[in-house]
Amino acid sequence: MNRKAVPGRLLRVTGVVVTLTLFAGACSDSDDASSDATSTTAGTAAASSATSDAGAVKPVDQAGLEAALEEGAKEFLFPGAVALLRTPSGTITATYGTTERGGGDAVALDDHIRIGSNTKTWTATAILQLAQEGKIAVTDPVSKYRPDVPNGENITIAQVLDMRSGLYNYSETPELNEALDNDPGRVWMPEELLALGLSQPPYFPPGGGYHYSNTNYVLLGLIAEQLDGKPLAEIYRDRIIGPAGLSSSSFPEPTDTALPDPYSHGYFFGTNMLTLTDPALPEDMQAQAMDGTLAPTDVTNNNPSWTWSAGGGISTAEDLATWAEALAGGKALDADMQKQRLASVQPTDPSSPEAAGYGWGIAKMGPMYGHTGELPGYNSFMGSDPEKGVTLIVWANLAPGANGHDPASTIAKNLIEEMYAG
């Protein structure tokens, strides 16, 4: 798989692109410390039939969630993972394995992880709230706020939000990837990241296609700071984390490489340069990973500042579920803006109207609205179906798999296919 065909893919904080590919056509919208799995339950009837009251959605029980994580571990070799499923019947959660490879604590529901591109939903929501307040309009040209963006007078804020600006993805550059391998503790400033993206020619004229690009969201983060007059961490705290009640979520300073306790370590096979054009390891290295002779690297405390407003957030499974429901259900925006946001979702493959879609910082994956996130060491999926009252969260502490696929997103896809099978 060539990165140009599937842009902004794994290891670049943008697992959503491959997830969209995975989900295309997968689900019908017509009904719009051991390796053993451990689990907890909540909700009165959840353990036996998690989705029995969710209309046409088929049941997934406790054993089903546990089995999904166990199968994922066999394929992807992650040390630990979490799944959370909320339905009208209650909540089921399952945990697998340990927070460290070969030991450590058993994975727990309240473990903190890096959520990668799920952070984009925070950034986009802040911009849309600023639009509600009359401080910006989605129809405005980017040049109104950043005159330094080439052709910015012809790029709208909406096109930046929905990945149709054409701006080059800085995280596809060899400069960034070599630095991530050679100096993983480097502190990156947002203006450096933006400059990397703007130094490359655009993929297409504004509105002329779709290409997932972290440059878009670093640009939006800088504009949000400019309009709100405060650092991005405060914007997230005041507009997203506080109002939504995300008590276990945070956004670190660029120099901060720690995760709050409790947390899961994150693991990564290979190097960024090795997987720049193809996220899968070479076949001989895949075989070595599967037979245990190739170990992944612990990248937990690699500096994530290169992700900034495109993917620097930290959260937990329960907070992700709460936020996915707020995102899909419109609790973070007024009714008109939420309607516009959902209407902004377009197929990522114009030749396939049934393909998964992307809009203003929100993806539609099968029947669920949400996002995914990935950076070296962590992959997470969050999705919510407000019509059926179903929310699914999955995370894994190794990313990507040796085969180049997204562990958590693949598990989520399989669960959604099971629940929504026609």
- CA 269/CA 15 separation, integer angstroms: 16
Q: Where are the domains of the chain?
A: 16-419
> How confident is the prediction along the chain (422 residues), in pLDDT tens digits per residue?
233 323 333 334 344 555 555 565 444 333 333 333 333 333 333 333 444 444 568 879 999 999 999 999 999 999 999 999 999 999 999 999 999 999 899 999 999 999 999 999 999 999 999 999 999 999 999 999 999 999 999 999 999 999 999 999 999 999 999 999 999 999 999 999 999 999 999 999 999 999 999 999 999 999 999 999 999 999 999 999 999 999 999 999 999 999 999 999 999 999 999 999 999 999 999 999 999 999 999 999 999 999 999 999 999 999 999 999 999 999 999 999 999 999 999 999 888 877 789 999 999 999 999 999 999 999 999 999 999 999 999 999 999 999 999 999 999 999 999 999 86
Strands 113-116 and 297-298: unpaired
CB proximity list for 396: less than 8 A, separation 6 or greater: 72, 76, 78, 80, 81, 378, 379, 380, 407, 408, 411
Task: Characterize 29-54 residue by residue with b for buried, 16 or more Cβ atoms within 10 angstroms of its Cβ, and e for exposed.
Answer: eeeebeeebbbebeeeebbebbbeeb
- Burial classification of residue 353, based on how many CB atoms lie within 10 Å of its CB (0-12 exposed, 13-18 middle, 19 or more buried): exposed
- CA 177/CA 187 separation, integer angstroms: 14
pLDDT of residue 256: 98
Q: pTM (2 decimals)?
A: 0.91
- CA 161/CA 219 separation, integer angstroms: 10
Q: DSSP string spanning 331-343?
A: TTS-HHHHHHHHH
CATH number given to 16-419: 3.40.710.10
Task: Characterize 285-299 residue by residue with b for buried, 16 or more Cβ atoms within 10 angstroms of its Cβ, and e for exposed.
Answer: bbebbeeeebebbeb
pLDDT of residue 54: 40
Distance of alpha carbon 247 from the chain centroid: 19
Residue 132: other Cβ atoms inside 10 A: 12
Return the structure tokens found at 196: 């990397």
Return the structure tokens found at 29: 């919208």
pLDDT of residue 408: 98
Nearest by Cα to 120 from 220, 33, 201: 220
- Contact between 284 and 278 under an 8 Å Cβ cutoff? The reply is no
pLDDT of residue 39: 35
In the block, residue with structure tokens 């992307």: 358
- CA 370/CA 125 separation, integer angstroms: 12
End-to-end CA distance of the chain: 30
- CA 14/CA 8 separation, integer angstroms: 6
